[in-house]
Structure 1
């Protein structure tokens, strides 16, 4: 579609100027969340399981590696979503003969709305993913043998079929995947993965 191409040609250089700043901000946030998840698992290990943990400080390198890997991905995904949303606003504005002032207002309003929605979606989804990864890494370090899917705030009426299927399998070995893996679950999921010590044999 020619209009989409024109919009992308205009937006790509603009969005590119934000890439390094957004990537750095995302990396900082992802590292902080990862460290928070690690601390939660270490506390669980010490208080709930009585696991003697030789704690020499937070897993900084793992947190930084996770943040670098996922920060750049977030910026790329956000750029694609931003371009699609703006292309749609522009197309509707032109179809509706809004003129330049009306189209400019539509873009400002649409971008502010999208920005708020997108930032909330990113915050929920990526926080969950960083916590999943930190929990998994610390579980392995502490010798935790299993995990289970805990339905989120949606309760029985508000969780999706994938979430129910994951919860339905019960406790599984730590290195096995749920029917829908943690990384593939829907955005803004409120479920959690809890550590479980499976009995041997």
Structure 2
């Protein structure tokens, strides 16, 4: 899940101006100009036109420098995509740490699937889940995925009913839902929503010889 943030891009030379906005005093500038021109005037040239050419170039450099110092700092604002894969990776690690070894692989497969199936099911850096763009207060993606992965008594994560309804609108493989109770709930929600004929999953009992 990516978020777009506005960042201010400031050229390196502009940063120097911002950090030291006070230009040199006119006395310092005039002193530097006088020193350079004095050297030009003292030096002997075979052609006076060359001396005046150098003098004029020194003057132009000063004027250019002075104009550049007076220019306002230009700051450009650009939109760019800031990938929050760091936050996503952290939540994935937390999920892996929270799941028992037996269910860890299944939970991570479901997490990875939901991470790449569009924007119907999303979550932020704290794990708060949004369904169809609407945040589910006090929900947590780790709790919801854990619930779909394994069956536990006396545990009903916040938002699980709406979570199941949203999943029923996705073409999510039922093999990614190890919890049979939740898998059947998704099938029922699909049937109620008119999503086509779904063959119920039944337990297969092994025959005894």
Coarse TM-score class (shorter-chain normalised): under 0.3
**Structure whose residues are more often helix by fraction:** 1
TM-score normalised by L of structure 1: 0.27
More strand by share: 2
Asked which structure has the greater RCO (Cα within 8 Å, sep 6+), the reply is 1
